[in-house]
Structure 1
Amino acid sequence: MTKSQGDVVRAALAVLNEQGAAAVSMRAVADQLGVRMNTVVWHVKSRARLGDLMADAIIGGVALDDLPAGWRERAAEIIRRYRSALLAHRDGASVVAGTFAAEPATLDVAEALVGALLDGGLPEREAAWTCWSLVYFTLGLTQEEQSAPSRFTRDLTVGDRPALLRALPHLASEAFSERFEHGLARLLTSP
């Protein structure tokens, strides 16, 4: 049976979801498809290219229909959907963070987000950098959420650091949805 690039990416995402990002390799994808490794290489050329295509497929899970009309609400909803797309795949944030995928789905999400920010009256540079800030914030928080955060927060000892001692219950919080909404609101506050 002939395989396509889409088949290779779907197989890579299956390996990702079953075994995690560390298990994704050209050989693992070939095994998942039941083909020789050269078939995978033919379609994706390199491990880096496979990562870009996987990242774009993950971001392809961001629906851009039925968005709110107001720019701030629209931008916030796009980023919420972005986070949901990352969380829909085991290690999704790590895969996306490890790439710079200038691919169709990724570009469509960026277009919608930057467009919302421009509609809010942000100058081009501010819109671009706010877009990056929202993406980086979401990737970082989602990576933490997906990487067994309890190993960081459990029995956290800060020593004689008064500010950290005061804030420790909040720093050690695993309330990721609340932390996400807080950061999102702060980043979308008008300048």
Structure 2
Amino acid sequence: MRIVKEHVIDTALSLLDSAGIEGLTLRKLATALGIQVPSLYWHYKNKESLFEDVADALLRNVALQVTDAPWNVKLLGIAKEIRLALLSRRDAARFLSVTCPVSDNVLRVSSMMIECLTGAGLDDRTAQRGAFTIMHYVLGFTVEEQTLSGRRNDQLKMDELKDLFETYPMGRSLFMDIAEGSPDERFEFGVELTLEGLRRHVEQVKGRPSNRP
């Protein structure tokens, strides 16, 4: 049976949805495709290269249309698109994090983020590190978000945490915000905090010191 590379990737993504990161194996993928494992090597030299293509596909619909807007608005929009793309697939953020592909869509999205910052006036190195910081925040936040969403409420063991919460009331406030607050608001707060730091860099470059404390 002749298999098409795109079909392999789409089948792997479906398997990720149904079985999670631990269930995405070459054996299960081959079974889902109706072939033997050696047939996968017609397209891929090893497991790593196959999984890199699968991880890259997670971002294939991200930032395809970026509107003409201020650099910080564009970056916030791209960050939100990345998060939503990863949330659409089970364990996607963790899969992308552990795979770390140097691939078409990863480089395309990263380049767009960097260009937003160089276009604002930052040098290449600062722009690269700024984009890197935002990307890592998005991945880290979404990994935790997907991990928490997979837990049942009764696994939080609120009664067992009562004594700890009485000892650390601020810790309780943090825990309750994570458990009951809006993940969208928390996510945007973190991205915008990073963008505020980058904005200060931009103002320094342009010789306009920030008036904010």
Same fold per TM (> 0.5)?
A: yes
Question: Is this contact kept in 2: 1:51–1:99, CA < 8 A?
Answer: yes
Supply the AA of the counterpart residue of 2:192: A
1:166-181 matched pairs, under 5 angstroms: 166-174=170-178, 175-181=182-188
Unaligned stretches of 5+ residues in structure 1: none
For the pair 1:20 / 2:27, whether they are aligned, the reply is: no
Question: Is this contact kept in 2: 1:11–1:32, CA < 8 A?
Answer: yes
Supply the AA of the counterpart residue of 1:181: E
TM-score, structure 2 normalization: 0.81
**Displacement of 1:5:** 2.0
Q: Is the partner of 1:3 in helix, strand or coil?
A: coil
Structure 2 distance, partners of 1:154, 1:123, is 49
1:102-141 matched pairs, under 5 angstroms: 102-141=102-141
Render the CA deviation track for 1:61-103: whole Å, top value 9, x for unaligned.
Answer: 2132142421110111111111111111111101110122111
1:174-189 matched pairs, under 5 angstroms: 174=178, 175-189=182-196
Render the CA deviation track for 1:19-77: whole Å, top value 9, x for unaligned.
Answer: 11110011111011001111113322222222211110001121321424211101111
Provide the residue aligned with 2:69 in structure 1.
69
147-156 vs 94-103, which moves further: 147-156
Structure 2 distance, partners of 1:132, 1:65, is 21
RMSD: 2.2
| Percent identical | 27
Supply the AA of the counterpart residue of 1:180: F
**Displacement of 1:166:** 2.1
With over 3 angstroms needed to count, the CA separation of the structure-2 counterparts of 1:158 and 1:88, relative to structure 1, is: farther
* Higher gyration radius (CA): 2
Provide the residue aligned with 1:50 in structure 2.
50
Question: Is this contact kept in 1: 2:165–2:171, CA < 8 A?
Answer: no
Supply the AA of the counterpart residue of 1:39: S
Question: Is this contact kept in 2: 1:153–1:173, CA < 8 A?
Answer: no
Structure 1 distance, partners of 2:146, 2:50, is 21
Question: Is this contact kept in 1: 2:30–2:40, CA < 8 A?
Answer: yes
Q: Is the partner of 1:45 in helix, strand or coil?
A: coil
**Displacement of 1:106:** 1.0
Q: Is the partner of 1:101 in helix, strand or coil?
A: coil
Unaligned stretches of 5+ residues in structure 2: 201-213
With over 3 angstroms needed to count, the CA separation of the structure-2 counterparts of 1:64 and 1:161, relative to structure 1, is: farther
**Displacement of 1:154:** 5.0
Structure 2 distance, partners of 1:47, 1:186, is 38
Structure 2 distance, partners of 1:114, 1:91, is 26
